[in-house]
Amino acid sequence: MSSISRRSFVKAGAAAAAAGLASTSFTTRAWAQSSAPIRIGILLPLSGAQSTYSADCQLSAQIAVDQINAAGGIMGRTLEIVYKDDKANPNAAIAAGKELVGEGINLLIGGLNTPGALSLVGIMPESKSTLITIGSVADSLNHESFNRNFFRITDSAYSRAQAQARLVAEKHPDITNWGGILPDVEFGHALWRSFSAGLKKFYPELAKTEAQITDPVLFKWGAIDFKNQIASLVRQPVQGLYQSLTGEDFLTMLNQARPFGLADKVKVFMDLSGEILFAKTLKQNLPNNFWSGSHWYYESYQDIKAGRDLYTAYVERTGDKTPTGYVGPAHMAINAYAHAIQAAGNTETDAVITALENINFESAKGPLSFRKEDHQVVADINIIRLAPKDEEPGWKVEDHVKLPNAELLGEATPGKAIVVE
């Protein structure tokens, strides 16, 4: 295997960066009181290490706006996006959010990462604004930190980890020894609680056997040296490995793991969210049986108009036929706001929140609604299996699965921590 550089990951992410969505017709209302554009604020890490993920979000949001405007807009008004850089930093996110509110924008999209999402959610009530998050999976957002001005349009950590456990029990019933490599922070511990609980539930149900679970190997948040953790994993009897390293950190770990033979020892990798971004960077260096969660996998939705339209628009604008999952959420969030504004008849925050609680529309990911109690999205969970390939582009999607998350959401407990049994 050749060495994998951090620069190659950023380059691949940028190349994968531009995106598209299904056109939706919104009936205009003659009594609309303003012809000024309806402005929606989008906060993204436009600079810094996590900017890799932003370009797909920007392009897909713009495609949604272009499609809606081409269909006549909303109540006779066009949509317009105002972007701000949250720098993947909580303080910068708060400053950018307040700047948008100061410009009179009350409908926001953002929260690509957890620290930024948590900071933004906290200022929504006092600023009389609402936020749809498009990336963070932290359970606390719709549990102990929940407020009515927040909506999540992607999976929660609990629902995705449960889905991933269910999938491995069904697809790999012979792989029963599981371990993990996770950050030693609450997010990492919460992920492992949810995934291991799923293993304990679904292996007996689907594989007709018990899963053997080894305590996960933990690393310090922000670490760049994983050799001790890798050596520990190699000593363990694990056949399957659950991991949540993202971006450059995962590439660093794989480079450091090569001399230890970790990729040969582990028969199945289950990754939280790297998906096609990892594949475009790793190519032939991808481990076999590498499953990863995705916010939206285009191939799963070619049978519905909204999914086809988003994919077609993305390809037309980029020339890239393999969009990442980050193309989906911003597009879905723009359309959620569009449907809610149309239903409410105005852009007032309370009216839009009430409308969001009651919408149900065909998104690029199929039917989409929000659970009224905690504003968690009710939509498919997408998981794909990636593998190396000798021919160009050097990788392939071997399998893709969509699971109904309504069965995997767990109990709604706004204001209280989720209970994992």
Q: What is the pLDDT of residues 31-74, one digit of tens each?
A: 345 789 999 999 999 998 778 889 999 999 999 999 999 999 99
- For 214-315, list the strands marked E by DSSP: 217-219, 240-243, 268-271, 290-294
Tell me the whole-structure pTM to 2 decimals: 0.90
Backbone angles phi, psi at 382, to 5 degrees: -105, 135
pLDDT for residue 163? 97
Rounded Cα distance between 26 and 184, Å, is: 47
pLDDT band at 27 (very low <50, low <70, confident <90, very high): very low
| pLDDT greater than 90 at residue 349 | yes
pLDDT band at 251 (very low <50, low <70, confident <90, very high): confident
Mean pLDDT score, 6-14: 42
Rounded Cα distance between 162 and 198, Å, is: 5
pLDDT for residue 53? 85
Mean pLDDT score, 102-110: 97
Backbone angles phi, psi at 78, to 5 degrees: -85, 160
pLDDT for residue 223? 83
pLDDT for residue 35? 86
SS3 track for 377-394: EECEEEEEEEEECCCCCC
pLDDT band at 14 (very low <50, low <70, confident <90, very high): very low
Each residue of 266-276: pLDDT tens digit?
A: 999 999 988 99
Rg (Cα) of the chain, in Å, rounded? 21
| pLDDT greater than 60 at residue 357 | yes
The residues pairing with 42 across neighbouring beta strands, listed in sequence order, are 83, 109
End-to-end CA distance of the chain: 41
More confident residue, 251 or 361: 361
Each residue of 366-393: pLDDT tens digit?
A: 999 999 999 999 999 999 999 999 999 9
| pLDDT greater than 70 at residue 25 | no
Average pLDDT score, the chain: 90
Q: Residue 39 corresponds to which tokens in the numbers above?
A: 């402005």
C-alpha distance from residue 180 to each of 78, 158, 200, 234, 267 (Å): 48, 16, 15, 12, 13
Rounded Cα distance between 99 and 324, Å, is: 30
pLDDT for residue 26? 53
pLDDT for residue 245? 84
| pLDDT greater than 50 at residue 28 | no
Structural domains of the chain ordered from first start: 6-156+299-379 (3.40.50.2300), 158-295+381-407 (3.40.50.2300)
pLDDT for residue 51? 83
| pLDDT greater than 80 at residue 219 | yes
Residues 6+ apart with CB under 8 A from 194: 139, 157, 158, 161, 162, 165, 420
pLDDT band at 347 (very low <50, low <70, confident <90, very high): very high
Each residue of 117-167: pLDDT tens digit?
A: 999 999 999 999 999 999 998 899 999 999 999 999 999 999 999 999 999
| pLDDT greater than 90 at residue 421 | no
Each residue of 267-309: pLDDT tens digit?
A: 999 999 889 989 998 999 899 899 999 999 999 999 999 999 9
Reply yes or no: is the peptide bond before residue 388 cis, omega within 30 of 0: no
pLDDT for residue 48? 81
Percent of the chain surpassing pLDDT 70: 92
Rounded Cα distance between 235 and 38, Å, is: 58
Residues 6+ apart with CB under 8 A from 77: 32, 34, 35, 36, 37, 38
pLDDT for residue 33? 56
pLDDT for residue 317? 97
| pLDDT greater than 80 at residue 6 | no
pLDDT for residue 18? 38
